Every structure is written in structure tokens, then in C-alpha cells.
Amino acid sequence: MSRLPSGQRHAIRFSLNGKPCAGEAEPRLLLTDFLRHQIGVTGTHVGCEHGVCGACTIDIDGQPARACLTLAVQIDGCKVRTVESLAPSPGRLGILQSAFKRNHALQCGFCTAGILMSLDCFLRDHPRPDEESIRDFLSGHLCRCTGYTPIVRAALEAAAELADDLSREKTDA
């Protein structure tokens, strides 16, 4: 058993976007604030802070999760992926991000990082989704700009492109 006393900072080691990462956090520090202020990855946004809006959604051990409903000390030893992991290199966009740009699936962009990370997890597990399942999955996110239609279109387009990539890989092999 380890007891981490309040008011003190404790070492946390985890994997961030495929690389080992370490930081320090008091027990009460939320993962959102830890990532943004301690680690300096500010792509994850802080919205409602009670799990309703979905802006802070990230990938923890392969599953979409609310960073605002997670303590930083809980992720010791976990694999964390944030929106920073999606672009293949600086100045380039990933497939899902490009589909969002083409389809105007964002306006103010506040909800976008969370939606991208959710859909990134979803499309990995569901390579050929239909519109209904995407809409059901998106019910865990609030977007006040787009009305969701372009987001759904972007997700379907990205899914088709990703599936195409997969089948091409199979033919090449």
C-alpha cells in the first residue's frame, strides 16, 4: 500500500503519446491540470470539469476517458494519448484531423480535441461504423457551433480513408 499525503507532490511516471514521461502532482490535482500546467501539453481542453461536455477526453490505456474525472496520481504506470499524438509531424495533419478540416467539422475548436480523441479510439475499434453508431458515440460530447452534421461526415470520411489504407497495406503485403 502506498499513501500519498495531501499537500505534497508525488512522482508520477507514465507513457505520454508513446514516450516515457514523468511529473509531480498533489493527490487532488486533476489530470487535465497536470497535463496542461505540469507537462505543458495544452491541446487537452478544460470545459465543464464534471464529465458532461467531453472537451477533456483523452485516451487512457486504449479507452476514451475524461481527464477532468481522473486524478493525476491515478495514471501512474498508464499509457496516455492526447490530441498532440494525432499529427504525424509538425505542420501536418492526421487523417481524422484532415477530414475535420475538409468538412468544416469545427468552428471555435474548443470541443475538437476531445472529439478527435474519442473518434480516434472509436475508429480503431470500429473500422466500418455507420452514422447511427457515430452519433451514439458523439452523444458523450457537446459542440455548440457545428450542429454535429459536419463532424459525423468527417468521421465517416476518415473511417473510409482509414479502411482504404488498411486494405492497401494488406494488398502490398
* Residue type, position 88, single letter: P
**Cα–Cα distance list, 157 to 7, 57, 146, 152 (Å):** 48, 22, 17, 9
Site string for another protein, 71-110 (x = CB under 8 A): x-xx-x----------------------------------
Shorter beta-carbon distance to another protein: residue 76 or 102: 76
Q: What is the total count of residues that contact another protein (CB under 8 A)?
A: 38
Question: Closest distance between another protein and the C-beta of residue 135, in Å?
Answer: 9
Of the candidates 90, 55, 86, 84, which has an alpha carbon nearest to the alpha carbon of residue 69? 55
Q: Exposed, middle or buried, 121 (CB in 10 Å: 0-12/13-18/19+)?
A: buried
The reply on whether position 57 binds another protein by CB under 8 A is yes
16: helix, strand or coil: strand
The reply on whether position 35 binds another protein by CB under 8 A is no
Question: Closest distance between another protein and the C-beta of residue 171, in Å?
Answer: 32
Question: Closest distance between another protein and the C-beta of residue 83, in Å?
Answer: 14
Residue 51 zone, left/alpha/beta (φ > 0; ψ -120 to 50; rest): left
Of the candidates 126, 125, 120, which has an alpha carbon nearest to the alpha carbon of residue 154? 120
Q: Are 122 and 137 in contact (CB under 8 A)?
A: yes
Question: Closest distance between another protein and the C-beta of residue 10, in Å?
Answer: 8
Of 49, 110, 145, 163, the residue at the interface with another protein (CB under 8 A) is 49
Stretches 56-64, 87-95, 103-111, 156-164: which one binds another protein (CB under 8 A)?
56-64
Chain residues binding another protein by CB under 8 A are 1-7, 10, 26-28, 30, 33, 49-52, 54, 57, 60, 63-66, 68-71, 73-74, 76, 118, 122, 136-137, 139-141
